[in-house]
A and B are shown apart, each in its own frame.
Chain A
Amino acid sequence: MGDQRVLVIDNGSYECRVGWSDCKEPELRFRNVLTKPRKDRKKEAIGSSEGSGTTSSAVEAPAEIQVGNDITNIEAVRAHLKSPFERNVITNWNHQEQIFDYIFTKMGFEGQENIGHPIVLTEALANPNFCRQQMSELLFECYGIPAVSYGIDALYSWDYYQQSRRKVSDALIISFGYSTTHVIPVLEGKIQLEHVRRLNVGGYHIITYLFRLMQMKYPVHLTAITISRMEKLVHEHCHIAVNYREELVKWAQLDYYEEHIMKIQLPYNAVTATNALLTAEQKQEKRRELALRLLEIKNRREREKLREDEQQLFVYNKLRQLYEQQKLQKFERALEQQQIGTLEELDSLIATINSRIKRAQERAQSAPRPSKQQDKLDKMPKPPEGVTQADWLADIHDKRDKLLRRKQARQQQRSEQAKRHTHAAQERMRIISSLAKSEKRRKANGEEEDDGFGMNDNDWDVYKRINRYNDDSDSDADNDQLLEFEKILNHYDANFDDGSVNVQAQSAAENYQLHFGVEDIRVPEILFQPSMIGCSEAGLAELIAFVLKLFPAEEQQRMVDHVYLTGGCGQFRGLKERLAKELLEMRPFQSQFAIYESDEHTLSAWLGACVQAEDPGFGQTLTTRQDYQERGSEFFREHKASNLFYPTPKD
């Protein structure tokens, strides 16, 4: 067995890394996701093949499932992405099988009878026996592998870190994953599995949190804010605040904000933007051009129709002449040719065509009418006679102000009515109850006792006053009038400013910018304060303290002497400093601790697994086919980087 190359698979929930153990780096790295092209497209393809009667095999084959790097545009299929993982555990074995197919095909096993190489595979901490059993069955039964070794990525990574350094037997490993974060105590080189704790927050949550925040901050750019872009932002710009509260307070100050804000330009289309920048006159000009062109097309079509009609009429008239000249036989044959039944039918046809031609000609004569209409639309209201323009404008200004005030008052009233215990709300209730009472009295008496309500048109306004929702017809009319006034003022009054001018002064590109400020510390902070995303679990610092407290003081000290950070999310700037601060707070006064960082955060697990696979004692760690057959599918051999094997009790 020692002569066989070993295939190492670091099966992470974010990324999968595959390679031979004697290589420097994995040959294959891909996002651990797959997608099936949409079903309806598949159906269409089948339907078309049936329709045309061809049975080409290319069309009939079910749509190919795309895995990992085969997905060309991940954003296009974001909604259909599937992962075999739930958190950090594999639960969907169909998907895992597809992933293995992809791995083994890419690694060049196509054409071979089975996978004739031992495999090193990473798995979750305390992976449930059921899941491991499924995995073994899949690997041994379906792919026919000779042997497998299950290990934990964080422990492989720790192994790799010690390669070039002094061997250390005790450590506290903090492993930052895509869906989970682990705190792993190691004593005497052995993992203390019962004291490992897992925080169910990871890179996935950080990215999704940023995604949701940005979507709500910029509802206009909903489609431009994609997970991929947010991922990039998190990877490149987010960092962990050493003192979160202090940095937050800094962001509250305007000068600090102006100085440190990062503006992210979203892609935007210059063409649509210039369209938005056009002045009102240019827009009108464009519209007129468009109208003219449409009119021309319509005219041309009408002329063609007219010509056709005239030809038809000519033919029919000829027929008619035949009849009048008593050439009946010829006439009947011609009728048959034209598919016309009788003489009456011919006559009615001639009549309809005649009238159609007449109408078309009339229309052609009055063609210049639409442009007149256009003029009317463009015309601005003019000051009434006998009033100077200045007076008229002042009057309109007044009216507009009055309207605005009325609108504001209405809004105020409505917002007050929305809350209970205000005077407005009580007044409303009083009106409603009095209205209801008067109605009841009428019914009780049995006879129509008219209180005169509704005789006066103003009576009905009471319903407008108690209407709490939406704008009523009154405010609609007001809004229309307001628009009209503003149009006039915009046209005549150079000083008029309705508040929309400021917005336009900004360049259009700036409207497509995301302001990325406090988010750069706010988003990764959820590792330390999961309560920010509604997770009730203890934050990372609290969790470390909790895990340490499970051990006697002397062992605690041995572990904090080597706190080791690994995993993708461990790359945040400031993480080490922040943990140093937190440890300083939780450790006894003047005690020592040290934090070490992996030098290959994402790859070290794979590299560590390779180191172990090259080790002379590697054969002992393999769970062989014989083990699988003799000791059951849930059995696996323990080694220094593996989970502990606890057989499932028999019922």
Chain B
Amino acid sequence: MEAKPKRSFKRPFAFPKNCVYRPLRQICNMERNKKLPADRPTYFTLNAPPSLVPAKKYSDISGLPAPYADPHTKLRYANADEYASMQNMPSDIINGYLTVRGYTSAVG
């Protein structure tokens, strides 16, 4: 171990194994389970509220306002040209567009 350049400014120290890494979700849950007073701000309570305005619909391909959606692929599109280009699109790209938009089908 002597070969390793020693950082002289450090002292021997190590976190307990279960504290080295915890996912943020777990830390948040830990805070919530403490039964804190309701008015006390925590990282979790700072989250933005869910949006109340209906989400606008934009074409997955071009980003233009999209009045149409293809029932087959579930992609949104703005005009006939886009629809035509969608027909020859490989399924991984279609899925890519859907996941970017956060669309998950009910069937999975």
Contact = CB atoms under 8 A, between A and B. Distances in A.
Interface of A: 57-58, 60-62, 86-87, 89, 91-94, 101, 104-105, 109-115, 124-131, 134, 137-138, 141-144, 193-194, 196-200, 209, 212-213, 215-216, 219, 245, 248-249, 251-252, 415, 418-419, 518-519, 522, 529-539, 542-543, 546, 644, 646, 648-649
Given A142-B10, A538-B50, 14 more contacts: A91-B24, A92-B21, A112-B8, A113-B8, A114-B9, A124-B43, A128-B31, A198-B46, A198-B48, A248-B58, A532-B55, A534-B103, A538-B51, A646-B36
A200 B47 contact: yes
B53 A91 contact: no
A197 B46 contact: yes
B6 to A, nearest CB: 9
29 contacts: A86-B23, A89-B24, A91-B22, A91-B23, A92-B20, A94-B20, A94-B21, A104-B9, A114-B11, A127-B43, A138-B13, A141-B11, A194-B45, A197-B46, A199-B48, A209-B100, A212-B96, A219-B90, A219-B93, A252-B79, A519-B63, A529-B56, A532-B58, A534-B99, A534-B102, A536-B50, A537-B47, A646-B41, A649-B35
A542 B51 contact: yes
A194 B50 contact: no
Interface residues of B, number: 57
B65 interface: yes
Interface of B: 2-4, 7-11, 13, 15, 19-24, 27-28, 30-31, 34-36, 39-43, 45-53, 55-56, 58, 62-65, 72, 78-79, 87, 90, 93, 96-97, 99-103
A219 B72 CA distance: 22
B100 A213 contact: yes
Contacts of A213: 100
A61 B3 contact: yes
Contacts of A138: 13, 15
B9 A129 contact: no
Contacts of A209: 100
Nearest to B4: A61
Contacts of A125: 43, 46
B65 A249 contact: yes
B50 A105 contact: no
B72 to A, nearest CB: 7
A249 B100 CA distance: 22
A444 B7 CA distance: 85
B28 to A, nearest CB: 7
Nearest to B3: A57
By Cβ-Cβ distance, the 4 closest A-B pairs, closest first, are A534-B102, A531-B55, A57-B3, A142-B13
B81 to A, nearest CB: 11
Nearest to A415: B87
Contacts of A646: 36, 40-41
Nearest to B90: A219
Contact of B53 (A127, A144, A219, A542): A542
A114 B9 CA distance: 4
A250 B39 CA distance: 47
In this complex, the member of B15, B27, B63, B87 whose beta carbon has the largest number of chain A beta carbons within 10 angstroms is B63
Contacts of A649: 34-36
A537 B43 contact: no
A146 to B, nearest CB: 13
A315 B23 CA distance: 79
A89 B27 contact: yes
A128 B20 contact: no
Given A543-B48, A648-B34, A86 B19 contact: no
Nearest to B28: A128
A248 B79 CA distance: 14
B76 to A, nearest CB: 11
A649 B24 CA distance: 20
A87 B24 contact: yes
Contact of B51 (A105, A197, A530): A530
Given A87-B24, A141-B13, A101 B64 contact: no
Nearest to A183: B48
A533 B49 contact: no
Contacts of B51: 530-531, 536-539, 542
B11 A252 contact: no
A542 B52 contact: yes
